[in-house]
Amino acid sequence: MKKEGPPSDCRAYQERLQQQLDGQPVGWPAALVEHLRDCPACAALQGAARRLTAGLQKLTPPTPPPDLAGQITARVLADDRSQKTAGRIQRLRWAVAALVAAAVLLALGLRFRATPTTPPAPEVPDLAAAATPRPLRDSMEEARTAVAALTNRTADAAVGETAFLLPPVPEPMLPESAAESLEPSLRPFREAGAEVSSGLEPVTDSARRALQLFLRDQPSEEGAKPPASKLN
């Protein structure tokens, strides 16, 4: 007895067996039936296939627990609700974020629009230098000079402004009699000059008073002497 048939016959048998297990109609040629009689391996495979077929017919699919469908349905519905809630929350977060961003942008826009063009910073006096103590005599002299210069400048300006109102008058070429007849005409010019002087008086008086007040408040150069009322 042969231990194994030709490999081609074994392969041919296995192909037929697979088709048989697939459920296809298979014809068994006499040569293959003869091969099964002579090949123990294929004969054993044939016997195992027969048992497998019988076992598969007895095999029933596992049945799910009776309440599994209900559990799954409840879980699916709960999951659907949570998914929708999560979606709503997510959309709400996006909406809030968009609103906040829009509000910030709006506030920034309004602020930029409302802010005027920054004027140049005024010159800040050098306080440190001003705080430096200076000799009193220098300060007094400087104050006097400043007040005098201010007075002169104000007077010159006033005179200058009024001078151009006076037309240039040539030297009188008229005879004495004519000059005397013209005297009334020159009087308004004299009066105008007097008025300009009287107009400048408040300025000069104010400057004078300011200087006097300033000098009165300054301590004596010889040292601090207590007032006479305190000595008594």
Partner 1 sequence: VSSAEDGRLVRRCLGGDAEAIRQLVVRFQAEVFGLCVRILGHRHDAEDVTQEVFLRVFRSLAGWDPARPLRPWVMGIAVNRCRTWLARRSNRLELVDYLQDSVAGPPDDDSAELLREIQVALAGLRVEYRTVFAMFHEQGQPYEEIALALKRPVGTIKTWLHRARLEILDRLRARGMVGEGFDNPRPAGPYPA
Residues found near partner 1 in the complex (CB under 8 A): 14, 18, 20-21, 26, 28, 32-33, 36-37, 43-56, 58-65, 68-73, 75-77, 79-80, 83
Please say which residue, 40 or 193, places its beta carbon nearer to partner 1. 40
Please say which residue, 63 or 232, places its beta carbon nearer to partner 1. 63
Is 172 within 8 Å of 182 (Cβ atoms)?
Answer: yes
Please say which residue, 38 or 147, places its beta carbon nearer to partner 1. 38
Query: How far apart are CB 115 and partner 1 at their closest, in Å?
Result: 52
Please say which residue, 60 or 198, places its beta carbon nearer to partner 1. 60
Cα 64 to chain centroid, rounded = 62
Query: How far apart are CB 103 and partner 1 at their closest, in Å?
Result: 35
- Closest-CA residue to 228 (of 107, 220, 80): 220
Please say which residue, 26 or 203, places its beta carbon nearer to partner 1. 26
Region at 16 (left for phi over 0; alpha for psi -120 to 50; beta for the rest)? alpha
C-alpha 189/C-alpha 168 separation (Å) is 12
Is 207 within 8 Å of 151 (Cβ atoms)?
Answer: yes
Structure token pair of residue 104: 């910030």
Query: How far apart are CB 90 and partner 1 at their closest, in Å?
Result: 15
Please say which residue, 80 or 205, places its beta carbon nearer to partner 1. 80
Query: How far apart are CB 6 and partner 1 at their closest, in Å?
Result: 18
Phi and psi at residue 144, in whole multiples of 5°?
-60, -45
Structure token pair of residue 171: 């030297």
Query: How far apart are CB 45 and partner 1 at their closest, in Å?
Result: 6
Is 87 within 8 Å of 79 (Cβ atoms)?
Answer: no
Query: How far apart are CB 3 and partner 1 at their closest, in Å?
Result: 14
Is 53 within 8 Å of 69 (Cβ atoms)?
Answer: no
